[in-house]
Each structure stands twice: as structure tokens, then as C-alpha cells.
């Protein structure tokens, strides 16, 4: 999906936008679920993290947002975003980052949307929380964003409640919300998994389109190797909390070296 020009671009860009080093995440006294994970994301680049359920890919993503479930904590390692140590940030500092510099999209758009709030309001709320990034009247911005994600009749959609929308429309609303503050990094956790196949393709295209417009980097978490092959520049293969293989999608998916990657690819061929 990405052209080769982008790979060129990432090679010449100097500093990584996100640098995760030795990240280790554990729950209580249990053995760590993420063990010494290190990777980088360059500006504008799309990096996939692929693995089966329980591989630690979602916990890695949640650590970056500092949204680990209760009991989970970063026991070692560092997360630098544009040089800022996110792993040391306070909750108040993180609130500035979330939805601003870093946005996130989850698998199930229904549980992420407030069922008793009109969707236009919810999109506008993101702009209200980060006034410095989203200039203009929040509600008008929201309608503009709903139009940008190709929802038909955005003024009318803005007045709807989440249950009145289809799964694909809800995920478009989530994308509008994610991009309203022009994030520099988008973390997307299985953004198309709950959708029907044809809608999945539409959503992947929309994310790509928004990303290109705004020059956003994307960290895409998925179990679907087809989605990685279709959308990512680079891929990290996770297994039992560790990255077992990393490289360009062409290298890793067409000439896998690690036995686990081979096994994973074998299952889908």
C-alpha cells in the first residue's frame, strides 16, 4: 500500500519519533508479559506489530499510552517520544499527550464511544481538550472531520448516537476523533478486525488517506498478517512478550528467518 518513496523518506529522516528501549511490563509478581522490547518508529512511517493473542502486542501499545490495565506496570525500560520520557510522565502530563500528539484507535468502536452522547459532541470533545492543536469552533471542526472521513451528510451524523450508526461508520467516527488534533503518532489496535471484510478494506484505506494528509506515523497492532502485508512499511513479530523478528515487510513476510515467523506464515498460506 505504501510506495517505495516512503521507505526512502524514512531512511533519510534523522531522528525517530518514538523510541522504545528494553520495555518490560509485568502484572504484580507474575512473570513479565512484555520482556525487553526495543523498537523505533520514524516520522510518517507505518510499523506493524503482529502476534497471536497473548503475545504482548497490545500491552506494548498500552504501555506507550500509559494505559495499562490495573496491576500492570512498566518495570524496566524507557519510552521516548520525540525525546520526551513518556515512561516518567505524570498522569497530568500524559493527559496532554493522549489525543494530542498520540492518538489511539481500538478494535471495537462501540465500546469506545459514549452511548448517551451524540457523536458530533464526542469528536468535538477531543478538539476542546487540546485547543492549542485544533483551532476553530470545536463543533464545526468535528463536522469537518466527519466529512473528511467520508461520512455521508456529516451534519446529520453529528447529531446521531453511536447505536444509530453501523460498525463501519462508528470506526470512521473513531478515526475522525483520532485525527482531529493532528497527532504525530497514531496507535491502532486491531482497527479493522471486528468489521466485515469489505468494510475492513475501506477503513484501512481511510487510515492511510488521513495519515498521508497529516504526515502521521502509525503503529498498527494486529494478528492479521494480510493487513500488515497490505499497509505496513516495517513489521515486528512478537511471541511470548518478545520481538522475535523485525524488518521491512518484504524481508520478514517474504523471507522469514525466525522459526516462529515461519510457523505463523505457514498457518495463513
The yes or no reply on residue 15 touching other proteins (CB under 8 A) is no
The yes or no reply on residue 157 touching other proteins (CB under 8 A) is no
The yes or no reply on residue 3 touching other proteins (CB under 8 A) is yes
Alpha carbon distance, N-terminus to C-terminus of the chain: 20
How many amino acids of this chain bind other proteins (CB under 8 A)? 33
Contacting other proteins (CB under 8 A), which of 28, 31, 69, 152? 152
Contacting other proteins (CB under 8 A), which of 95, 208, 240, 258? 208
State whether residue 13 is helix, strand or coil.
coil
Strand stretches in 106-203, DSSP E: 185-189
DSSP type of residue 98: B
Cβ closer to other proteins: 26 or 253? 253
Beta bridge partners of 85: 80
Residues 6+ apart with CB under 8 A from 119: 113, 146, 157, 158, 160, 161, 162, 165, 173
The yes or no reply on residue 254 touching other proteins (CB under 8 A) is yes
Cβ closer to other proteins: 131 or 156? 156
State whether residue 205 is helix, strand or coil.
helix
Contacting other proteins (CB under 8 A), which of 24, 40, 199, 242? 199
Angle between helices 167-179 and 138-148 (to 10 degrees): 130
Q: In this structure, what C-alpha cell is assigned to residue 181?
A: 488534533
DSSP letters spanning 37-60: EEEEE-TT-EEEEE--TTSSHHHH
Point out which span in 86-94, 103-111, 119-127, 191-199 binds other proteins (CB under 8 A).
191-199
The yes or no reply on residue 9 touching other proteins (CB under 8 A) is no
The yes or no reply on residue 153 touching other proteins (CB under 8 A) is no
Contact (Cβ atoms closer than 8 angstroms) between residue 56 and residue 62: no
- Minimum CB separation of residue 163 from other proteins in Å reads 13
* 39-68: contacts with other proteins (CB under 8 A): 52
Q: What values do phi and psi take at 105, rounded to 5? A: -125, 135
Q: In this structure, what C-alpha cell is assigned to residue 116?
A: 448517551
Cβ closer to other proteins: 131 or 262? 262
Cβ closer to other proteins: 112 or 199? 199
- Minimum CB separation of residue 4 from other proteins in Å reads 11
- Minimum CB separation of residue 103 from other proteins in Å reads 21
The yes or no reply on residue 94 touching other proteins (CB under 8 A) is no
The yes or no reply on residue 82 touching other proteins (CB under 8 A) is no
Distances in Å between the alpha carbon of 218 and those of 27, 104, 208? 27, 10, 9
Instruction: Return residues touching other proteins (CB under 8 A).
Output: 1, 3, 52, 152, 166, 168-169, 196-202, 205, 208-209, 212, 224-230, 249-250, 253-254, 265, 267-269
Amino acid at each position: 500500500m505504501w510506495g517505495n518513496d516512503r521507505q526512502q523518506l524514512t531512511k533519510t529522516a534523522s531522528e525517530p519519533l518514538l523510541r522504545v528501549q528494553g520495555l518490560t511490563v509485568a502484572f504484580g509478581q507474575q512473570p513479565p508479559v512484555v520482556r525487553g522490547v526495543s523498537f523505533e518508529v520514524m516520522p510518517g512511517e507505518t510499523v506493524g506489530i503482529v502476534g497471536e493473542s497473548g503475545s504482548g502486542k497490545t500491552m506494548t501499545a498500552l504501555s506507550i499510552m500509559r494505559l495499562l490495565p490495573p496491576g500492570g506496570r512498566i518495570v524496566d525500560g524507557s519510552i521516548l517520544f520525540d525525546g520526551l520520557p513518556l515512561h516518567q510522565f505524570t498522569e497530568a502530563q500524559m493527559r496532554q499527550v493522549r489525543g494530542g500528539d498520540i492518538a489511539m484507535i481500538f478494535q471495537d468502536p462501540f465500546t469506545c464511544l459514549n452511548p448517551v452522547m451524540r457523536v458530533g459532541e464526542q469528536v468535538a470533545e477531543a478538539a476542546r481538550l487540546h485547543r492549542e492543536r485544533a483551532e476553530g469552533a470545536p463543533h464545526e471542526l468535528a463536522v469537518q472531520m466527519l466529512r473528511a472521513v467520508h461520512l455521508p451528510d456529516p451534519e446529520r451524523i453529528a447529531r446521531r448516537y453511536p447505536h444509530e450508526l453501523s460498525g463501519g461508520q462508528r470506526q470512521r467516527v473513531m478515526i475522525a476523533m483520532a485525527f482531529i488534533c493532528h497527532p504525530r503518532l497514531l496507535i491502532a489496535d486491531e482497527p479493522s478486525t471486528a468489521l466485515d471484510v469489505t468494510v475492513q478494506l475501506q477503513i484501512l484505506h481511510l487510515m492511510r488517506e488521513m495519515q498521508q494528509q497529516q504526515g502521521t506515523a502509525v503503529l498498527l497492532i494486529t494478528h492479521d498478517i494480510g493487513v500488515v502485508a497490505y499497509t505496513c512499511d516495517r513489521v515486528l513479530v512478537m511471541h511470548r512478550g518478545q520481538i522475535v523478528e523485525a524488518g521491512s515487510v518484504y524481508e520478514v513476510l517474504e523471507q522469514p528467518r525466525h522459526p516462529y515467523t515461519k510457523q505463523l506464515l505457514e498457518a495463513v498460506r
